[in-house]
Amino acid sequence: MKRTNTFAVRPLSETGEQLLRDLLDASAALWNEVNYQRLMRYNDEDGFEGDVWDADTGRLEGRYKGVLGASTAQQVIRKNSEAWRGFFRLKDQYHDESNTSVTEHPEPPGFRGNEDDGRQLKTVIRNTSYTVEWGDRSRLEILVGSELKDRYDHTGRLRLEITGNPSWPEYEKQGRLDLWYDETDSTFRASQPVTVSDETRDAPLADEKAALDIGANNLVACTTTTGEQYLYEGRELFHRFRETTREIARLQSKLREGRYSSERIRRLYRKRTRRRDHAQEALCRDLVERLYAEGVDTVYIGGLTDILGTHWSVETNAKTHNFWAFKQFTERLACTAEEYGISVEVRSEAWTSQECPQCGSTDRTTRNQDTLTCPCGFEGHADLTASETFLRRHTEQAVRPMARPVRFEWDDHDWSESPRSHRPKEQRTDPSTVHRDGNVASGESQTV
């Protein structure tokens, strides 16, 4: 089984920190040089012979191996090659009409900052060029190149202190280590892929279930058979996503004729994607840890294909595909859940979003913003109710949410509990706002 340990690391001295920064900065510089050589060839610029793969990476490796060490220089170049191969794969999918999973034209791999504004401090280290020791004082040691070794009068093995405990301290093999500086909280971080034996797998004595309703305004609404309900709100995130998208459009409209992108535009795309990925990653982790603690062993997710034809408006579809990247989110959630021994099953959830839990009616209910109401007297949070109905459909047992739903808001680092308690009536009523948001709740998208 493949797993990943993610942890923060701390240099032991100022010299150590400077050395680490130099190493990460040189890695970013090498990445940029390789990428530049490839991008110029991709764009058919004058003076650059051949295609992307004709760039002379051997010469660059030679120039950087003194600082980085030969193995790290090779890994950085290899990682850039992987990024280009990924880009070509996406581009093929985008142009393949039978494939609808890629809706935006992909961008070629970007640069890791630049010398003037600062580079993104990031490197990658071969599995044989680092060691990790777990224990009371966990530590990471990485090999550095001879030039750095001389510059700092160093042993050539940089030792870093690891904070926190790994999810997978015992493993058979370790993979390539990613090491980077996280500017959002000024911390060096590493992720270490490992292969663990099947016996190591945590097997919680769990048989509880959970069901998720995935949406664009409320990213995840969840009900568990233990009676818990969680709601992760996406409006603020989407608002910022849209602002960045508008800024990209504004910059694009100012491009010289014949130009389709610029470094600034590419940077905004990357920023937009990074922010979303960060929020997704954190959401998966937060949710899965809660479910694990509740003793959940199976999570049901509604399949998007069923939703498309029914109550989702075109705008909402676009919103969920482009902004929240539903498929990617599902895969990420499945990966995180697997670490905890929880299985994720994608099931049809047609109709559950408008079914009244009290009388079972699907055609008499109305949804306004986040509230589902029924002439029988029922009124509740629409997405939470949908996850509840969905859960009931896939479990034999009756589901009775007992606790007050817990709401989470994204603050750029964490999903934290919102001070706002659940009040179904609390909502915006300006219909134009509803429309611009592509809100699921608009009346006309209700009926099938």
Whole-number minimum distance, CB 364 to Zn ion, in Å? 7
Residue with smaller CB distance to Zn ion, 322 or 361: 361
N-to-C CA span, the chain: 44
Residue with smaller CB distance to Zn ion, 113 or 380: 380
CA dist 360 → 214, 351, 383, 395 (Å): 21, 11, 16, 17
Report the alpha-carbon distance of residue 223 to residue 209 in Å, rounded. Answer: 9
Under a CB-based contact definition with an 8 Å cutoff, are residues 143 and 129 in contact? Answer: yes
Whole-number minimum distance, CB 312 to Zn ion, in Å? 22
Residue with smaller CB distance to Zn ion, 349 or 355: 355
CA dist 342 → 207, 208, 221 (Å): 10, 10, 18
Whole-number minimum distance, CB 420 to Zn ion, in Å? 26
Residue with smaller CB distance to Zn ion, 280 or 353: 353
User: Which string of b and e fits 246-279 if b means at least 16 CB within 10 Å?
Assistant: eebeeeeeeeeeeeeeeeebbbbbbebeebbeeb
Residue with smaller CB distance to Zn ion, 152 or 378: 378
Whole-number minimum distance, CB 360 to Zn ion, in Å? 7
Residue among 216, 270, 213 at smallest CA distance from 238:
216
- Binding residues (CB under 5 A) for Zn ion: these are 356, 358-359, 361, 374, 376, 378
Strands (E) in 303-440, as ranges, are 343-347, 366-368, 371-373, 379-381, 406-410, 415-417
Q: How crowded is the C-beta side of 13, counted as CA atoms within 13 Å?
A: 7
Whole-number minimum distance, CB 353 to Zn ion, in Å? 14
Q: For residue 40, give both structure tokens.
A: 């110029």
Residue with smaller CB distance to Zn ion, 376 or 403: 376
Residue with smaller CB distance to Zn ion, 314 or 359: 359
CA dist 431 → 369, 379, 435, 436, 439 (Å): 10, 20, 6, 9, 10
Which residue type sits at 401?
P
Hey, which residues does 75 pair with through a beta bridge?
Answer: none
Whole-number minimum distance, CB 359 to Zn ion, in Å? 3
Whole-number minimum distance, CB 355 to Zn ion, in Å? 9
Report the alpha-carbon distance of residue 363 to residue 345 in Å, rounded. Answer: 27
Q: For residue 332, give both structure tokens.
A: 């990420």
Residue with smaller CB distance to Zn ion, 38 or 381: 381
Whole-number minimum distance, CB 380 to Zn ion, in Å? 10
Whole-number minimum distance, CB 384 to Zn ion, in Å? 16
Residue with smaller CB distance to Zn ion, 191 or 358: 358
User: Which string of b and e fits 345-355 if b means at least 16 CB within 10 Å?
Assistant: eeeebbbbbbb
